[in-house]
Chains A and B, each alone.
Chain A
Amino acid sequence: MSNDKLQKKKLYAISSENRQFSFSLPLKHSIRIGKRNYEVKLKADEKYGTYILWKNRKYPVEIVRSRQNKYEILFNDISYTFSVETPFSLQRMKVLNAQKGKATAEYIKAPMPGKIIDVLVREGSAVQRGEPVVILEAMKMQNEILSPVNGTVVKISAKANTNVMKDDLLVEIKP
């Protein structure tokens, strides 16, 4: 039984905002824009660290995290998260997403490490989009964490006067 069907001729990188970039395999060191092919190289040196050379300009780049097929890349000071999919896994994603349906919960996570000063809502209270739900103190500033959706508070994991790390779950809201 041959490997033809699974011969990966293309790989897709899906960004966190669902933009799709496709590259044929084997991966070339050039990218086509319009009618021209531009060379792209990944290099590293003592002074600059790792960088990408493109159109005669050096762009600082760092691989922040890589887990399974998910990569977080810091390119020219901006982070991008991609999941790399084969044609089959891309299709599978579509099949599964079609089955999933609407989100049943919105999770509010701590955007940075700090201390919970105040929890402004109770379980069961209604919240509006943009309404502050938690006060998080970090870098001497009191930051209001706002609700991204209209809904009802289902669960509160944040406790006043406790420290939290980045991405810790604070509040769960049912939209």
Chain B
Amino acid sequence: MKIKRILIANRGEIAVRIMKTARLMNIETVAVKTAVEPNAMYLGSADIVFDNTEDMSEVPVFLDIEKLIAIALKTNANAVHPGYGFLAENAYFAQKCIDNKIIFIGPSPDAIYKMGNKTIARNLALQNGIPMAMGSQGNIANDEEAIAIAEKIGYPVIIKAASGGGGRGMRIVRKSEEMDKMFNIASKEAEKSFNDPSVFVEKYIENPKHIEFQILGDTKGNIIHLGERECSIQRKHQKLLEEAPSCALDAKLRKKMGSMAIQIARAVNYYSAGTVEFLLDSEKNFYFMEMNTRIQVEHPVTEVITGIDLIEQQILIANGEPLKMKQEDIKLKGWAIECRINAEDVQSGFAPDPGKIESLNMPTYQCVRVDTGVQQGSSIVASYDSMIAKLIVKGKDRKEALKNTKMALDKVWIKGTKTTLPFFRMLVRHPKFQDGSFTTAFIEKDLEKYYFNAEYEEMLAAWLAVKLFAEENLNYDSINIDFKQGKEINPWLLNKRISQF
């Protein structure tokens, strides 16, 4: 194995995840300790910890290319895994690694660059006959141009950031009057999140499902797909729950979409793990959205139904090895559901609720896998993200997976912050989720209440409130107020107090 030691340019649960596989492959790992979370869980799983706590700079180390390269060289790491987020889709970083003879565990800088720029990606899709939503040819300079395009393709349209995704820099526009305001908001947000205010315009497909395909490619040109993931449960473009496979696809559609995914990946000679995102409308027409050139948060559900360790594959591919599986070898078995448990307050519109995890108890059933970067005593830091853990539950089919998820959710016990658990508890009981008919509009349109509580739960809370009140106020006599002690004063002191008058 060429790769002997991997520097993990990330933190939290993905760092823990990568280290887990690396250990199984007997590869050493290096983690970076930061001042923001010097006691984070991921530091405990690494072979070498690089202490970066003295670094007081504004830019977090995981976004600092120069520093990361320096750390890799200093710790003799000959490979880097960027995880997801941070620099995972930064072509310049990938190139810099290669320039410094460090193996970048991911795709080529060229592929990252091309797929990272949404307008280039769209053009590639166009050239390769991949179905997509109509939109602007390139970036839009101002709201007038946007209005002109919108008039042509018809409202509603969506303004999207050219350099990033994840819901940031995205705004739906339904009338031309809103364009000016939305354009500015989207552009500003894009600048803030991706350092690039460029945006483009696309036709907005109403109430689609978000279906993405997991791609694996090797440096020898072999590309396969590992089936789809259903990621329509989103709020403000942030995924909350994912499943694999999707109940909206049959084998035929899967084959068709899968081959399109492979085709677009081939257009950039893609290798390593990647994800091709599609939108599926109510008539089962699919449209290419974008390709994510990194390992994704929700990769576990694919791992569970295919039995393939994607991180291991990434490392093997980066090591130069050819894929051992062919497309026909990929079988999807069973069903997996992943709930992203975040430290957010569902009752306040998913507002972040940072704090310290006082206790964390996860279910230990056979069908449950927990990916987390947090343990008892960890702090959820507002400046990173609010993820506590990913709860991945499997079943032999969707029905069983749902049943198991419901059971597992009731056994999750987290104290110290508010979590999104009540949301998932509601979701698994919702008929529209159970029958699979939900779309990306589900949360905003079809939900009246964002959380679940059984009827008697409120009553039990009320009982507790009354109990506290009764104890505090009505039984105050029994709190044993002792007046005798107050009267037994040291004679020396008593004397002084009295004689002063």
Contact = CB atoms under 8 A, between A and B. Distances in A.
Interface of A: 8, 11, 13, 15, 19, 21, 23, 25-27, 31, 33, 40, 42, 47-49, 52, 54, 59-63, 66, 69, 71, 73-80, 82, 84, 111-112, 117, 120, 135, 137-142, 144, 166
B405 interface: no
Contact of A69 (B168, B459, B469): B469
A62 B466 contact: no
Contact of B474 (A25, A47, A54, A112): A25
A59 B464 CA distance: 12
Contacts of A62: 415
A60 B413 CA distance: 7
Chain B interface SS verdict (over half) = helix
B391 to A, nearest CB: 14
17 contacts: A8-B474, A25-B474, A31-B460, A49-B359, A54-B456, A54-B460, A73-B465, A76-B457, A80-B458, A112-B348, A112-B351, A137-B192, A139-B382, A141-B189, A141-B236, A142-B185, A142-B189
Contact of B352 (A49, A75, A139): A139
The 5 closest A-B CB pairs, nearest first, are: A13-B462, A21-B462, A112-B351, A84-B469, A75-B461
B282 interface: no
Given A76-B457, A77-B414, A142-B188, 14 more contacts: A13-B462, A21-B466, A31-B456, A42-B467, A48-B361, A62-B415, A71-B464, A75-B457, A75-B460, A76-B422, A76-B453, A78-B457, A141-B168, A142-B192
A82 B168 contact: no
Among B349, B385, B457, B472, max chain A CB count under 10 A is at B457
Contacts of B346: 78
B11 to A, nearest CB: 16
Contact of A25 (B189, B345, B470): B470
B128 interface: no
Contact of A61 (B358, B419, B464): B464
B364 interface: no
Contacts of B236: 141
Contacts of B167: 141
B458 A11 contact: no
Contacts of A166: 351
Contact of A71 (B181, B193, B468): B468
A156 to B, nearest CB: 18
Nearest to A69: B469
Interface in B407-466: 413-415, 418-419, 421-422, 451, 453, 456-466
Chain A interface SS verdict (over half) = strand
Interface string B466-491: 11111011100000000000000000
Given A11-B469, A80-B458, A142-B185, A75 B361 contact: no
Contact of B460 (A59, A74, A139, A142): A59
A77 B421 contact: yes
Nearest to B419: A77
A73 B469 CA distance: 13
B76 interface: no
B100 interface: no
B386 interface: yes
Given A48-B359, A54-B460, A27 B470 contact: yes
A120 B188 CA distance: 14
A79 B353 CA distance: 13
B460 A52 contact: yes
A75 B349 contact: no
Given A48-B359, A77-B422, A139-B352, A84 B465 contact: yes
Interface size class of B (residues with CB under 8 A): 35 or more
Nearest to B359: A49
B347 interface: yes
B451 A47 contact: no
Contacts of B361: 47-48
A63 B468 contact: yes
Nearest to A70: B465
Nearest to A11: B466
A80 B422 CA distance: 13
A80 B461 contact: yes
A11 B189 CA distance: 51
Contacts of B358: 49
Contacts of A63: 464, 468
A69 B385 CA distance: 36
Contacts of A21: 458-459, 462-463, 466
B462 A60 contact: no
A61 B457 CA distance: 11
Given A140-B168, A142-B188, A73 B419 contact: no
A2 B5 CA distance: 82
B283 to A, nearest CB: 30
Contacts of A71: 464-465, 468-469
A59 B189 CA distance: 41
B461 A82 contact: yes
A79 B185 CA distance: 33
A166 B349 CA distance: 13
Contacts of A144: 185
B334 to A, nearest CB: 29
A60 B360 CA distance: 11
Given A8-B474, A27-B470, A111-B348, A75 B464 contact: yes
Given A112-B351, A141-B168, A84 B457 contact: no
A25 B168 CA distance: 54
B453 A78 contact: yes
A73 B464 contact: yes
Among A33, A49, A71, max chain B CB count under 10 A is at A71
A80 B467 CA distance: 15
A82 B415 contact: no
Contacts of B467: 27, 42
